[in-house]
Amino acid sequence: MPELTFLGHACFLLSETGQETLLFDPYISENPLAPVKLEEVKADYILISHGHWDHLGDAYEIAERSGAMIVSSSEIAKKAAADGLKAHAQHLGGRSLHPFGSVKLTVAFHGAGIEGGHACGFVVDYYGRKIYFAGDTGLFSDMKLIGELDPLDVALLPIGDNFTMGIDDAAIAASFLQAKVVIPYHYNTWPLIEADPEEFKRKAEKKTGSSVVILEPGKSFKF
């Protein structure tokens, strides 16, 4: 059974016993909410939504140590490859096949953090389960299409406002996506992005048929 573990801020680990491990936006060593030490984190694939320091994070160190493949936008992946790391480049709307399933890059309305690039999200097919990681983004109406094209088991959404969607917009996003389960992230790392996940849960569940699962850093959800 696949398991999502929240490592704080916007970092998630997706794993299943005996299968490949995927790591999203590995900001760990400087993350005040990180429940693990950097040297404890291993992955086979590292998915990077954009180049800001709190998302690119420790990707290079983890990739060098574990031999993980970085999957990201063309600009980020090409830079990683030029720096000697394994990398797979994609662009918005494109889907790539992997032993565990596939990764599709989706639009995210946010800064790229790298010259010439674009922020993105991901729809991951992980052994038949569909997970949407929104990255850092504001609300956009084409989220409806993301859920229509790939019926989602889990949607991971930022709720901290200021740099991303806030609670009200994220609840609307959940109504667009119609995932079975929604998990919030990118909140309470610093005072500037303080948000109440229980408020998000109430508002999102009122608008949708989704269940909202709140994960404390270090906790996991099996699905």
Q: What is the pLDDT of residues 114-152, one digit of tens each?
A: 998 999 999 999 999 999 999 999 999 999 999 999 999
pLDDT interval class at 94 (50, 70, 90):
very high
Domains and CATH numbers, the chain: 3-214 (3.60.15.10)
At 214 the pLDDT is 98
At 71 the pLDDT is 98
How do 220-222 and 211-212 pair as beta strands? unpaired
Q: What backbone phi and psi angles, to 5 degrees, belong to 217?
A: -55, 130
Nearest one of 105, 136, 99, 108 to 122, comparing CA atoms = 105
At 59 the pLDDT is 98
What percentage of residues in the chain have a pLDDT greater than 90? 99
pTM over 0.85: yes
At 124 the pLDDT is 98
Tell me how far apart the terminal alpha carbons of the chain are, to the nearest angstrom.
Answer: 6
At 171 the pLDDT is 98
Q: Are 174 and 204 in contact (CB under 8 A)?
A: yes
How far apart are alpha carbons 150 and 153 in whole angstroms? 9
pLDDT tens for each residue of 158-199: 999 999 999 999 999 999 999 999 999 999 999 999 999 999
